[in-house]
Amino acid sequence: MAASTPTYYDVLQVERNASPERVRAAYRRLAQKYHPDKMPDNANASRAMAAINAAYEVLSDAHRRAEHDLWIRRVERAPQARRPAQPAPRTLAHLLRANDSWPWYLLFGTMAVALGTIGTAIYLAAMPARATAAPAAQPCSVSAPAQPGQCARRS
């Protein structure tokens, strides 16, 4: 079992197949040693005593002890059930597998569309309006002769 996951057996410093009498004796020994009244200057004494009490509470009850043993067995088997590590990608095609990385494609595609839309809006707002229809009509001048459909001279 992993050293970072202590069990109640580790707290009481007994083996897993210890008898209830052995568990009780270990509890009494540790309670005498770490009792907060015997160690008034130690701030960790109350925390240690709480851990010792919790461990004894579980290991003294047969049903809860069986559940704790089952939990230990599951934790010990967990590393064996992990998937093997994937090898490093050899080519760009392996790196860009669509079945694993579709959220990234979706994110970057959405960002590209949004940036394109924002860029277009900024461009259109910054550029002056251009005439896209027919060219502007020439104003009527005094020297130009009046033709049908054009400016008529006012008298």
Burial of 12 (0-12, 13-18, 19+ CB in 10 A): buried
The single residue listed with the structure tokens 């770490």 is: 34
Phi-psi sector, 149: left (phi>0), alpha (psi -120 to 50), beta: left
Candidates 88, 89, 75; CA nearest to 6 is: 75
Q: Using one digit for the tens of pLDDT, what is the confidence trace for 95-151? A: 666 567 778 788 999 999 999 999 999 998 888 776 555 555 666 655 555 565 555
This prediction's pTM: 0.49
Give which of 46, 3, 29, 76 is closest to 12, Cα–Cα.
29
In CATH terms, 8-80 corresponds, of 1.10.287.110, 3.30.110.60, 3.30.750.80, 3.40.50.620, to 1.10.287.110
Tens of pLDDT, residue by residue over 54-85, are 999 999 999 999 999 999 998 888 766 566 77
